[in-house]
Amino acid sequence: MTKGLDDALSTAAKLWPLASEAPELLSHRENAVYRVALETGEKAVLRLHRPGYNSADEILSELVWTQALADKGFAVPRPIPSRSGALFEQVSDTQVATCLSWAEGGPLGAGGDPLGGSATEKIALYQRVGRLLADLHNLSDAFDPPPEFTRRTWDQEGFLGENPLWGRFWENPALKPDEGKYLLESRDIARDALTKYRNDCADFGLIHADALRENIFRDGDALTLIDFDDAGYGFRMFDLTTALSQSLLDPDHDQLLDALFDRYAAKRPLRQTDRDHARLFTMLRAFASLGWIVPRTKPGDPRQRSNCDRALWAARRFRDG
């Protein structure tokens, strides 16, 4: 832990009603996330947000939204106000801190590891994921954001513009020149397809945008959606395909996607044309991840090459289809 992060943690710990128990670092992939104990004895999560990623207004908007979801009974960590009653606190010149209620259970799995369980268990699981995402989208449509509400937008520019939200994926240094050219061609094709889909009354609104296995907690049959760091406005199909983006090469991927789609459609309209765009959004997720990995790894890291292979595979699959 750096001194700056240590100082920010010390400041944050005084601003929330925490017990004397020392915070336990759970992860530091993006935000620094700590397990803490409240004075009431309840467990909670204290987050030190990554400087420069989300503004204070964007973080506050996330909390207002997730609090509204929690108030409607959606399974999401609820913001815990600081001693002053604020939903977030500025704990240094660059660092914002927030505190959330504890999510019981553990993640569905980890990226790179096979999804456990029998075929029947996995189908049942992704039926529940489909229901979870349908509830998220239904409640988000009913949410009336305040005038100052601001979050990023996962649209044509956000995915495929000159400066995509997660970076210029076609410039990943692990790409060979011909591969970069192929992705640039695919980018143009995808932009046209995405624009046509948007004009065809695509379902567009608030989305989680990162519903990976690590961000869906399971406690028995109950599921909780965590980590709204990348959430914003976008295509609802992106949420659905992202939920299975870590299982692309699994032999039962399409079967699990159908299970997710069918249960989602039981609670929210899902047209055949939406389903037909699954490969497009699978590719967009792979493109975004290809840009995301560059500033987070050192040159030559094997994950850069594996992300290239995934993006190229998804692009070929989309274009061949």
Q: Are residues 118 and 252 in the same domain?
A: yes
Chain centroid offset of residue 309 CA:
21
- Sheet containing 106-107: which strands, arranged edge to edge? 106-107, 216-219, 222-225
The residue that leads in pLDDT, 319 or 30, is 319
Buried b (16+ CB within 10 A) or exposed e, 261-277: bebbeeebebeeebeeb
Q: Are residues 169 and 288 in the same domain?
A: yes
Q: Are residues 44 and 111 in the same domain?
A: no
* Strand blocks (E) in the chain: 24-27, 32-37, 43-48, 89-90, 96-101, 106-107, 152-154, 204-207, 216-219, 222-225, 232-235
The residue that leads in pLDDT, 114 or 309, is 309
Q: Are residues 313 and 275 in the same domain?
A: yes
Q: Are residues 98 and 113 in the same domain?
A: no
Q: Is the Cα dihedral 72, 75, 241, 300 positive or negative?
A: positive
Contacts of 78 (CB under 8 A, 6+ apart): 66, 67, 70, 100, 101
Q: In angstroms, rounded to a whole number, what is the distance separating the alpha carbons of residues 200 and 145?
A: 25
Q: Is the pLDDT of residue 109 over 80?
A: yes
Q: Are residues 119 and 67 in the same domain?
A: no
The pLDDT confidence band at residue 189, using thresholds 50, 70 and 90, is: very high
Q: Are residues 144 and 265 in the same domain?
A: yes
The pLDDT confidence band at residue 35, using thresholds 50, 70 and 90, is: very high
Q: Please identify, among 69, 102, 135, the residue that sits at the C-terminal boundary of a domain.
A: 102
**pLDDT of 317:** 96
| Domain extent for 18 | 3-102
- Enumerate the β-bridge partners of residue 27: 33
Q: Are residues 147 and 98 in the same domain?
A: no
Tens-place pLDDT, residues 299-321? 889 999 999 999 999 999 999 97
What CATH number corresponds to the domain at position 92?
3.30.200.20
Q: Are residues 119 and 58 in the same domain?
A: no
**pLDDT of 3:** 66
**pLDDT of 110:** 84
Q: In angstroms, rounded to a whole number, what is the distance separating the alpha carbons of residues 75 and 230?
A: 18
Q: Are residues 8 and 35 in the same domain?
A: yes
The pLDDT confidence band at residue 264, using thresholds 50, 70 and 90, is: very high
Q: What is the domain count for the chain?
A: 2
**pLDDT of 107:** 95
Tens-place pLDDT, residues 56-74? 999 999 999 999 999 999 9
What CATH number corresponds to the domain at position 275?
3.90.1200.10
Tokens 């998804």 map to which residue? 314
Q: Does the predicted model carry a pTM greater than 0.85?
A: yes
Q: Report the first-to-last Cα separation within the chain, whole angstroms.
A: 48
**pLDDT of 111:** 78
Q: Please identify, among 66, 82, 102, the residue that sits at the C-terminal boundary of a domain.
A: 102
Q: Are residues 59 and 183 in the same domain?
A: no
**pLDDT of 113:** 82
Q: Please identify, among 76, 102, 128, the residue that sits at the C-terminal boundary of a domain.
A: 102
Q: Are residues 269 and 311 in the same domain?
A: yes
**pLDDT of 116:** 86
Contacts of 301 (CB under 8 A, 6+ apart): 293
Q: Is the pLDDT of residue 83 over 80?
A: yes
Tens-place pLDDT, residues 118-134? 999 999 999 999 999 99
Tens-place pLDDT, residues 220-234? 999 999 999 999 999
